[in-house]
Chains A and B, each alone.
Chain A
């Protein structure tokens, strides 16, 4: 189905996020738990009117790994965050920046403008953003693996 915003293939995810995370491995597919109690974190992207138009989800283990790896925190910080489901202030800020960069995964030179509005856990997704989970015109999952920090599933959805 055609989407207003492009969804990437695995090589593009590798190309964009690989610039941030050396040695990142990306494979297409994977089972993503988007339920409110599943522990995933979502970047919510909005159009110029402020309406949610795309989501980028990271499951709890990927969110922990990406946020720790961005500023090269000890891998134990990722393990602890994956187990607790909580992100410290610095890790939360890091994951927000990763989601900001994931803007590039749902944007190209011909698509309408969008930007990251907020990062939030699945259980706190605003209703308008949560609606995309059930009504997205397109979605893709990828399995990501980071050296030393583990990995998990990345999910991209767009209206």
Chain B
């Protein structure tokens, strides 16, 4: 699978990649972007199957990115890895079409549980 990790923190992108490996999700093609604007352009060319996106980022938030992707008809599995964990924010995420929301900080176990249905 092609997996894109979007976060404005390069350290967090590294931690997400490491946690994917620790959760047993090895052997996938990983790409990265550091905000929603960069990701929106990159998705057109690298066509990921799965996106793991932060929520609060400069230029374009993760939620704005998800809405833009849905508006343009791009088909992919999209979920958040974020500190946004209130019930209201979860509702906004799932209403916009997110498949999952993983709270930061996270464990390999939470990745297994939440990403298992979406990574083949």
Contacts and interface: CB of A to CB of B under 8 A. Distances in A.
Contacts of A104: 83, 85, 103-105
Contact of A101 (B83, B87, B89): B83
Interface residues of A, number: 21
B64 interface: no
A2 interface: no
A97 B12 contact: yes
Contacts of B9: 93-94, 96-97, 100
Contact of A16 (B56, B86, B105): B105
Interface residues of B, number: 19
Contacts of B14: 71
B56 A115 contact: yes
A115 B84 contact: yes
A19 B85 contact: no
Contacts of B107: 19
Contacts, number: 51
Nearest to A19: B105
B105 A20 contact: yes
A24 B84 CA distance: 24
A77 interface: no
A103 B83 contact: yes
A65 B67 CA distance: 38
A104 B81 CA distance: 13
A107 B10 CA distance: 24
Nearest to B88: A113
B86 A17 contact: no
B87 A109 contact: yes
Interface of B: 9-12, 14-15, 56, 83-89, 103-107
Interface of A: 16-17, 19-20, 70-71, 90, 93-94, 96-97, 100-101, 103-104, 107, 109, 111, 113, 115-116
8 contacts: A20-B15, A71-B14, A94-B9, A97-B9, A100-B83, A107-B86, A113-B89, A116-B83
Given A17-B105, A113-B88, 12 more contacts: A70-B11, A71-B10, A71-B14, A93-B9, A93-B10, A94-B9, A97-B9, A100-B56, A109-B87, A113-B86, A115-B83, A116-B56
